[in-house]
Structure 1
Amino acid sequence: MISLNRLNGDAFTLNVLLIEQIQSFPDTTITLSNGKKFVVRNTEAEVIQRAMAFYQRIGLGGIHTFEAGDTDE
């Protein structure tokens, strides 16, 4: 869950796992997997950063890149 702000300034919490798409029209519009849309004050980059931080907190954000000589065991 991440905290965001509606256009009128009201704060709300959004379940990140339901996000399907984030666009800027220029307002940031978040479309959920159920089709519901939210227009927020937060920038697209800020929403993405908060979502990535959430995924890292729950252990889903780490992507391991292999260096030369690494082995995948």
Structure 2
Amino acid sequence: MIEVTKLSGRVFYVNPHQIEYITANPDTTLVMLSGKHLVIKEEYETVFNKIVEYRKRIGAFKNEE
């Protein structure tokens, strides 16, 4: 799970495997596989880096190193 912040300031956690795509126009929006849209404070680059770190932590990149 990765930590993200809603525009209201509420912190919550998202399973990055459930993110279908991310838009940034102008607010960063996570579009989930369920179709739900989550507007967050973090910039795209921050979310991207959190996803990469999460995948490294769980060993998803083992065969790519």
Pairwise same-fold verdict (TM > 0.5): yes
**Equivalences, count:** 64
Instruction: State the alpha-carbon separation in 1 of the partners of residues 8 and 34 from structure 2.
Output: 23
Give the aligned partner of residue 2 of structure 2. Answer: 2
Flag structure 1 segments of 5+ consecutive residues without an equivalent.
65-73
CA contact (8 A) 1:53 1:61 kept: no
Q: TM-score, normalised by structure 1?
A: 0.82
What secondary structure is seen at the aligned counterpart in 1 of 2:29?
Answer: strand
Q: Secondary structure at the match of 2:34?
A: coil
Q: Which amino acid aligns with 2:2?
A: I
Alignment root-mean-square deviation, CA: 1.0
Structure 2: 5+ residue stretches without partners? none
Greater share of helix: 2
Following TM superposition, the consecutive aligned residue runs of length 4 or more in structure 1 with deviations greater than 6 angstroms are none
Identity of matched residues, %: 31
TM-score normalised according to structure 2 size: 0.92
Kindly name which structure, 1 or 2, has the bigger radius of gyration based on alpha carbons.
1
